[in-house]
């Protein structure tokens, strides 16, 4: 099995390229993502199909803009430090702020959990909800 960081880096490369088939193939059947409920795309998403629902909800709200990533890994956990950089589809405003995610990779090399950490969910929600 590849190490957890390599798996997460491949996952993020697939996300940037829009390779949905590769993304869902890297997720465990019991995958879980919980986005803050205060965001327009907030909620709990389970399994590969849930991740597709998340992508649809996110892409209905924003166009993601390029950002650089840094990774720190320990065993099955990988931190991805980045910048949440996106353009609102409602008003063209751009939001940019520090962002991190904690990935958990299972023993089979599939991602079982992603936990996002936003710098300021209120600011993200305000930009995305402004008309």
Domains identified in the chain, total number: 1
Q: What is the pLDDT of residue 125?
A: 75
Helix (H, G, I), strand (E, B) or coil at 130: coil
Q: What is the pLDDT of residue 35?
A: 92
Q: What is the pLDDT of residue 100?
A: 94
Residue with tokens 């980045």: 82
Task: Report the C-alpha gap between 131 and 125 in whole angstroms.
Answer: 12
Task: Report the C-alpha gap between 99 and 103 in whole angstroms.
Answer: 13
Domain that holds residue 50: 4-129
Mention every residue, 6+ apart, whose C-beta is less than 8 A from residue 19. none
Helix (H, G, I), strand (E, B) or coil at 49: helix
Q: What is the pLDDT of residue 109?
A: 95
Task: Report the C-alpha gap between 119 and 16 in whole angstroms.
Answer: 21
The pLDDT tens digits along the chain (131 residues) read 579 999 999 999 999 888 999 999 999 999 999 999 988 888 999 999 999 999 999 888 888 888 889 999 999 999 999 988 888 888 888 888 899 999 999 999 999 999 999 888 888 877 777 65
- CATH number of the domain bearing residue 58: 3.10.450.50
Give the DSSP H or E segment for 47.
Answer: helix 47-61
Structure tokens at 81: 């430090």
Which phi and psi angles does 36 have, rounded to 5°? -55, 135
Q: What is the pLDDT of residue 23?
A: 93
Cα Rg, the chain, nearest whole Å: 14
């Amino acid at each position: 099995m590849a190490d957890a960081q390599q798996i997460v880096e491949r996952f993020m490369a697939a996300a940037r390229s829009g390779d949905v088939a590769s993304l869902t193939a890297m997720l465990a059947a019991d995958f879980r993502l919980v986005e803050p409920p205060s965001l327009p795309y907030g909620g709990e998403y389970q399994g590969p199909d849930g991740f597709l629902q998340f992508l649809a909800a996110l892409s209905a709200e924003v166009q993601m803009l390029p950002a650089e990533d840094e990774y720190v890994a320990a065993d099955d956990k990988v931190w991805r430090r980045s910048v949440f950089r996106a353009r609102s589809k409602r008003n063209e405003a751009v939001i940019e702020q520090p962002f991190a995610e904690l990935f958990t990779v299972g023993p089979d090399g599939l991602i079982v959990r992603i936990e996002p950490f936003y710098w300021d969910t209120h600011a993200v929600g305000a930009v995305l909800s402004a008309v």
